[in-house]
Chain A
Amino acid sequence: QVHLQESGPGLVKPSETLSLTCGVSGYSISRGYYWGWIRQPPGKGLEWIGSLSHSGNTYYNPSLMSRVTISMDTSKNQFSLTLSSVTAADTAVYYCARIDINILVAIESWGQGSLVTVSS
């Protein structure tokens, strides 16, 4: 059973960079699946941020592409999200997830989510 856990600062200042890490247990991220990030502003719907293949290829939401980087550290079995030049509009719960692109073609496991507030 895979387990995902987000970690990182809960408060980021405007114009600075948001950084989150997703620790994965129960499965090696380099073995298969895609790994992604989704966010949800308070009281609103879900927004796809981007994903990372087990071989390191990245796929980003075009609306965020200029500010987003998703990377992996296989030695620690974790992957990360950085979002630069944040504004209040980036305040959200950020979820990391495991994505099955072969059979389900869907998000099949989620982390518990990490609330990040952008405020001075």
Chain B
Amino acid sequence: DIQMTQSPSSLPASVGDRVTITCRASQSISTYLNWYQQKSGKVPELLIYGASRLQSGVPSRFSGSGSGTDFTLTISSLEAEDFATYYCQQSYVGTTWTFGRGTKVEIK
């Protein structure tokens, strides 16, 4: 299996902060990397697919970058509704899809 390592596991932040979450794959996955947001008690929602493509309806303050093994999710200016847990997930062809362990963005 391809292992996905997310960091940090917890990220205290304030409204207006620029937030960066990283995800590293144990082998190259090209740009088959997705990011999901899960608010407390809610269903995960797709934010970014293909490493950098914004899912329809997702605010432009979210962006993704990276390829190969190293990826980043950035929130340019954190809003109150963005406090949540974020998961990366690899969807490389022919492999079992796997998730990172999550990053909880919490109020500082």
Contacts and interface: CB of A to CB of B under 8 A. Distances in A.
Nearest to B100: A45
Contact residues of B: prevailing secondary structure: loop
Contact of A46 (B32, B46, B99): B99
Interface residues of A, number: 20
Contacts of B44: 46, 95, 107, 110
B50 A113 contact: no
Contacts, number: 54
A82 B50 CA distance: 31
B72 interface: no
B89 A95 contact: no
Interface string A85-118: 0000000000100000100111110111100000
Nearest to A108: B46
A62 B1 contact: yes
A45 B101 CA distance: 5
Contact of B96 (A62, A101, A104, A107): A62
Interface of A: 45-48, 59-63, 95, 101, 104-108, 110-113
